[in-house]
Amino acid sequence: DTGSAAAIPINEVDIAYVTPVTVGTPPQTLMLDLDTGSSDLWVFSSLTPSSQIRGQEIYTPTKSSTSQLLNGHTWSIRYGDGSSSRGTVFTDNFTIGGLEVKSQAVQTAQEVSSSFTQEQSLDGLVGLGFSTLNTVRPSSQLTFFDNARPNLDEEVFTADLKYHATGTYDFGFIDSKKHNGTITYTPVQPSPGYWTHSLSGYSVGSGAFQSSQISGISDTGTTLLYLPTAIVTAYYRQVQGAQNSQYYGGYVFPCASTLPTFTFGIEGARFTIPASYINYTRISPTSTTCYGGLQSSSGLGINIFGDVALKAAFVVFSGTNPPRIGFAPK
């Protein structure tokens, strides 16, 4: 089997991407964020207090003839940005882009934090990390990819995220029309459960490439690119008026500044992030100060290759044994 579905930016600065999915019988359509940085599939639901819902679509298990309560199971997740959600669990038929998993664990939110309530276009998440990270207890549940894997033509899913445009997630096949040239693969460390791999180095603008192994996670659920402070200061040193602002919690600069590109290595291959991707957003609609798409990871304890980096390539998440990740120009 295979599947193919749109990855639609939820706002004008690509803060996150959502994908139409269907849950239950008859199908209920929700817009979910496919997230390789976590492994819980959770949705706004009929069990979510109405005070915490602001325009989101909800899943109503009682309206689905194929839903089944997973008795006694609960879940609770907190993300590094401080957002959180928790609730109960049903199994039901779940489809992404024509690819169906029967009896997928669908985690129904009984509580979501305010930042999720405020994201009106996001009805939940589909975790595509390794199932070891799943928070359902007493027994953890499998991700959509792990459930679909035995029926896939190829044990892969791919992400073709785009800057200020709709891209695609494909399951079970690699669409050669979506990338130019070869796919460069590099090993993935599946523990503790992220798509963890190394970059082979970086360069700023037209500067020399600095070879160094930089370990981090390829995370479609995180907006920005978070790298070690030494790299980030080297980048913003090239930007007139840039400063690391305590007030704004990161590097900001005059919106009119000329930004250099940023290149990262995957093995011997090189991928260049255009300056426009790093001129992320104005700090407020009328401000002339802008917030960078490249930020320091020093407070996170982990380097995160988020959407700002991933949208510069065609990315293959390979669930083979051993797992690996591939990047291709596009």
Ligand X SMILES: CCNC(=O)c1c(-c2ccccc2)csc1NC(=O)CNCCc1c[nH]c2ccccc12
Residues with a catalytic annotation lie at 35, 219
For 207, other C-beta atoms within 10 Å of its C-beta total 13
Residues at the site binding ligand X, with contacts judged by CB under 6 A: 16, 33, 35, 37-38, 79-81, 83, 115, 119, 122, 125, 219, 221-222, 300, 302, 304
- Nearer CB in complex with ligand X: 263/295: 295
Q: For residues 265 and 320, give the distance between their C-alpha atoms in angstroms, rounded to a whole number.
A: 22
Q: In the bound complex, what is the minimum distance in angstroms from residue 121's beta carbon to ligand X?
A: 10
Q: In the bound complex, what is the minimum distance in angstroms from residue 45's beta carbon to ligand X?
A: 17
* Helix (H), strand (E), coil (C) string for 114-164: HHHHHCCCCCEEEECCCHHHCCCECCCCCCHHHHHHHHCCCCEEEEEEECC
227 Cβ contact partners less than 8 Å away, ≥ 6 residues apart? 202, 214, 216, 294, 295, 296, 297, 303
- Nearer CB in complex with ligand X: 57/203: 57
Q: In the bound complex, what is the minimum distance in angstroms from residue 142's beta carbon to ligand X?
A: 18
Cβ–Cβ under 8 Å, residues 44 and 112? yes
Q: In the bound complex, what is the minimum distance in angstroms from residue 246's beta carbon to ligand X?
A: 17
User: What is the end-to-end Cα distance of the chain in Å, rounded?
Assistant: 25
- Nearer CB in complex with ligand X: 81/267: 81
DSSP state of 285: T
Q: In the bound complex, what is the minimum distance in angstroms from residue 213's beta carbon to ligand X?
A: 19
- Nearer CB in complex with ligand X: 10/255: 10
Cβ–Cβ under 8 Å, residues 143 and 106? no
Enumerate the β-bridge partners of residue 170: 4, 158
- Nearer CB in complex with ligand X: 133/234: 133
For 231, other C-beta atoms within 10 Å of its C-beta total 22
